[in-house]
Chain A
Amino acid sequence: MTLIKTTYDRRSFIKVSTLSSGGMLLGFSWLASCKPDQVVNMPKEWFDINGFLKIADNGLVTIMSPNPEIGQNVKTSMPMIIAEELDVSWDQVTVEQAGFNIKKYTRQLAGGSQSIRQGWESLRMAGATARRMLMEAAAKQWDVPVAEVTTEEGVVKHGDKTIGYGEIAAVAATVTVPEEVELKDPKDFKIIGTPRKNVDGSKIVSGKPLFGLDTQREGMLIAMIEHPPAFGMKLKSLDSSSAKAMPGIHDVITINTSVPEGKEAQWSDTNAFNELVVVVGATTWQVMKAKKALKVSWEEESPPESTSDHIKSMYDLLGKNQKEPARLDGDPKKTFRNAAKVIERIYSAPFLAHNTLEPMNFFADVKEDQAELVGPVQTPEFMSKTASAVLGLPEEKISIMMTRMGGGFGRRLYGHFGIEAAIISQKVKAPVKLVYSREDDMTQGTYRPTYKVTYRAALDKNNNLIGFQVRGAGVHGSPVFANRFPAGAVDNYLAENHTLESNISTGAWRAPRSNFIAGAEQAFLDEVAEAAGKDPIEFRLELFERAINDPVGEDNDYDAKRYAGVLKLVREKSNWSQSTPGVYRGVSAYFCHNSYVAQVVDVVMKNNQPKVQKIWCAIDCGIVVNPEGARNQVEGGMVDGIGHAMYSEMTFKNGRPEQNNFDSYRLIRHREAPVEIETYFVDNGIDPTGLGEPSLPPIMGALANALAKATGERLYEQPFVGQAIELG
């Protein structure tokens, strides 16, 4: 049992009251103050439907899921945490998506694999506080000390006496919010740690409207944008006469989404094109056709860039020292000079588009004194601020409802499409749904930047790793994490970063930076192990031993024991020591988003083509809330990683994206997917850490290492398909 201070702003309970039907609604606030605030008794006669959970008179519980759902399963797993501490049966629970309300819910953001980690304590508190209030209400009714009262699956108990949560809910709603609540001992968890199916599963498989693009409203118009055809270009002139004359077309306008001077722009406003042509009409097809009839001319705003320019510039950067290195341990220069063996390799990867299968879209209904925004956004908090700035409305007059998202992967952190929809609605004075075509979506990205990295390793005559250098370059930032492994495990270590500026917009893409550097690093370590004549797992474990027993430096980001733990687990589960003829194995291990992952990939040759036969994945992400959803995330992350390492790239010619749809941009498909995946979670009772991203980065390395064994060719440049490798 853990005793924690509750952190609710008690003033938020002013509006809480009982339902006429006898239900209870708790309006929790997630303001982080731990100091007890003034306690306000709750009135009885009215309530505000904005709470965190409500209990009906029949004992059914509705839990509001605070965070945006992008397919990472939080709409199931976050309410599971509340239900656990509330002590109800999961069958009694229905889940609803909460709209944006940062005063009630902290961190309504989907990103960084942090929803569960950062929500863990406050979600438990939400359930535990409600449970305590139900217990106090029952204790008072029975005139017994609350310490003698217990609960079990939606029932309060004392001796032979029992009362259902629904029966006591009305009284519980009048109980003073406790200042301290007990949390369950994890060994008593009944819901957390048990597999639960996606709460939206039946709606998804029967095609119910769930997504932003499914929004339909009376009088709603459809809007589509036309943006410059190349990065570095802007609107010069527009002739919209033909388009305007087409059937169903309401108007053709131009908009500028820049945040007005004097107002603060948000990090999430990242977007290459602020001035856009907009076609507004009755139906999507009519608007799509009218877009083709637009006569737009564009002009150069900044010099156009091509992929060949980026490649050259990054090679140039890799040839330069960083004046003040990101990290320097020992004397790498001398070490490399005196080394018995030096291994040096360069790895690179292209820009990637997010390509959520649901293209960008948003609904907006902006009136003179208020605005309603509905759609897929990972960062409603920041959209609210920008919407307020561009619309000239106070934030409290803007409502944002997050729809289930047809994928996020970081793309919907950047909510410019919602801002565009809002401005369009304000201009045309009508409810509007903005729809991006796939081409609009892919050619106006916040792309994963293109990267290059040089690794150098120095071995002594006994094949010990005595020196390690990493120098990274990337558009808008280097991919190198200076304090991650093998920093801390090598005496002489140097990490350097270089940045290439660009007019191509980039942003977070599932496991930012890690999504490239992990694969490069793990492929490189494989070659170093080979050069040292060591088993790749043994080689890594030796380094972890060093980091455990005698770490170099103090600022190492990882826990070497947990790192080694997943590697040992995957070694055991995959029977690493046992070799099977015709099966080629690659291994990798990586730490990101606070979690540790190790993977073994088995490749077989079929008709002279490599096929990923099986993946073993061991992951340490602390307590796993929903093993069913967690396993699905881990599997998906690995398939995603294999697909992007193998096939995907965005290239540019004079600023113009050379891919604009799935005929030119390749994504992994059924036939190329691994045949089998086994996932193992480390059971250690540690508070949960990230899971949506960590399985993706290392798989690129494990795959490259397995393919190298299968084909004899080391792979340095993503996508690997460019090196004539195809998965069977």
Chain B
Amino acid sequence: MNSDQDGVNCKLFQKNNTQFMATYNLKINGQRKEVDADGDTPLLWVLREHLNLVGTKFGCGIAQCGACTVQVDGEAVRSCSLPISSIEDKSVVTIEGLSENGDHPVQKAWIEHDVPQCGYCQAGQIMNAAALLDQNPNPSDQEIDSAMNGNICRCGTYVRIKAAIKTAAAYQE
């Protein structure tokens, strides 16, 4: 574990001779948060269990389903496979921080198209879609498919998701 990284407080302590716990200073949804955790703890579990931000979901744990998608410095990433020690001083945005009142254009479009069925994957879908539109405000169908392909929707709402992304693009214009 590299304890000299920016944003990582060096209050290291050792337990059982094998496990390291450290205090990490994180920037989550624009706020500074201090977290004591093992350095290999995935960001997902830090968000869910240390910070009580449970909007980010656990689906597979191996970056295959996208349910845990958050934005780190504006990039959509799979938080289940991102150790907390690698976050450094990066800015993390979760579904709770995407907008103050749930009115980000992507969230509004999701409501407009009544996208969710069970709803479990949708935070990840939304975080990925929002990152896509930040980088490509007017994506083609193929660009949407390609950017969203890592996000599984077990209920099969793909057609609505695509329509909602196009509506969100129009809202942003």
**B-binding residues in A (CB < 8 A):** 70-73, 195, 197-198, 200-202, 204-211, 213-214, 216, 222, 245-247, 283-286, 288-289, 355-359, 404-409, 435, 437-438, 628-629, 632-633, 635-640, 643, 661-663, 667-671, 673-677
Q: How many A-B residue pairs have C-beta atoms within 8 angstroms? Tell me.
A: 196
A-B contact pairs, 16 of them (CB 8 A): A71-B118, A72-B117, A197-B111, A204-B116, A205-B116, A207-B55, A207-B56, A284-B45, A286-B38, A357-B120, A358-B118, A639-B159, A640-B155, A673-B159, A675-B159, A677-B159
Q: How large is the interface on B (under 10, 10 to 19, 20 to 34, 35 or more residues)?
A: 35 or more
Known A247-B15, A285-B41: A71·B60 in contact at CB below 8 Å: no
By DSSP majority rule, is chain A's interface helix, strand, loop, or mixed? Answer: loop
A407-B102 contact in complex given A673-B158, A675-B141, C-beta closer than 8 Å: no
Find the A residue at minimum CB distance from B97: A207
Q: Please name all residues of chain A whose beta carbon is closer than 8 Å to the beta carbon of B42 when the two chains form the complex.
A: 285
Return chain B residues, CB-CB under 8 Å to A438: 59-62
Nearest residue, chain A, Cβ from B107: A205
The answer, yes or no, to whether B121 is at the interface (CB within 8 Å) is yes
Contact residues in A for B107 (Cβ distance below 8 Å):
205-206
Q: Which has the most chain B C-beta neighbours within 10 Å: A246, A357, A643?
A: A357
Distance in Å: Cβ of A245 to nearest Cβ of chain B: 6
**In whole angstroms, how far apart are the Cα atoms of A333 and B160 in the complex?**
50
CA gap between A201 and B107 in the complex, in Å: 10
Nearest 4 interchain pairs by C-beta: A207-B55, A639-B156, A406-B120, A71-B118
Contact of A670 among B95, B102, B151 (CB under 8 A): B151
CA distance A404 to B117 in the complex (A): 11
A438 to B64, CA, bound (A): 11
Q: How far is the CB of A263 from chain B (nearest CB, A)?
A: 33
Interface residues of B in 142-167 (CB under 8 A from A): 144-146, 148-162
Determine whether the beta carbon of B54 is less than 8 Å from that of A662. no
List the A side residues contacting B62 at CB < 8 Å.
438, 661-663
In contact, B145 and A670 (Cβ under 8 angstroms): yes
Chain B residues with CB under 8 Å of A355's CB are: 154
Structural contact, B118 and A70, CB atoms closer than 8 A: yes
Is A201's CB under 8 angstroms from B152's CB? no
Closest to B124 in A: A357
**A162 shortest CB reach to chain B, Å:** 34
Say if the beta carbon of B24 comes within 8 Å of chain A: no
For the complex formed, measure the closest distance between the CB of A674 and the CB atoms of chain B, giving whole angstroms: 6
Q: List the A side residues contacting B161 at CB < 8 Å.
A: 670
Bound CA–CA A713/B122 (angstroms): 37
Q: How far is the CA of A325 from the CA of B56 in the complex (A)?
A: 53
The chain B residue sitting closest to A69, CB to CB, is: B118
Q: Are B159 and A247 in contact (CB under 8 A)?
A: no
Q: How far is the CA of A222 from the CA of B45 in the complex (A)?
A: 12
Are the CB atoms of A211 and B120 closer together than 8 Å? yes
Whether A209 lies near B118 (C-beta < 8 A) is no
Give chain A residues whose Cβ lies under 8 Å from the Cβ of B49. 222, 283-285
For A247, the chain B residues whose CB sits under 8 A away are 15-16, 19, 21, 38
A205–B119 Cα gap in the complex (Å)?
A: 8
Out of A209, A216, A407, A669, which one reaches B155, CB within 8 Å? A407
Within 8 Å CB of A405, what residues of B?
118
Q: Are A283 and B45 in contact (CB under 8 A)?
A: yes
B45-A671 in contact (CB<8A): no
A216 touches B54 (CB 8 A): yes
Report the bound CA distance from A211 to B55 in whole Å.
10
Give A638 to B150 CA distance when docked, in angstroms.
20
B94 at the interface (CB under 8 A from A): yes
Complex CA distance for A668 and B145, rounded to whole angstroms: 12
Question: Shortest CB–CB separation between residue B36 and chain A, in angstroms?
Answer: 11
Contacting pair B110 A205 (CB below 8 A): yes
Please give me the residue from chain A that is nearest to B121 by CB atom: A357
Tell me whether A635 and B159 are in contact in the complex, defined as CB-CB below 8 angstroms, given that A669-B152, A671-B146 are known contacts. yes
Q: Which of B50, B59, B107, B150 has the most CB of A within 10 A?
A: B59
B95 partner residues in chain A, CB cutoff 8 A = 205-207
Q: Is B67 an interface residue, CB under 8 A from the partner? A: yes
B87 on interface, CB distance cutoff 8 Å:
no
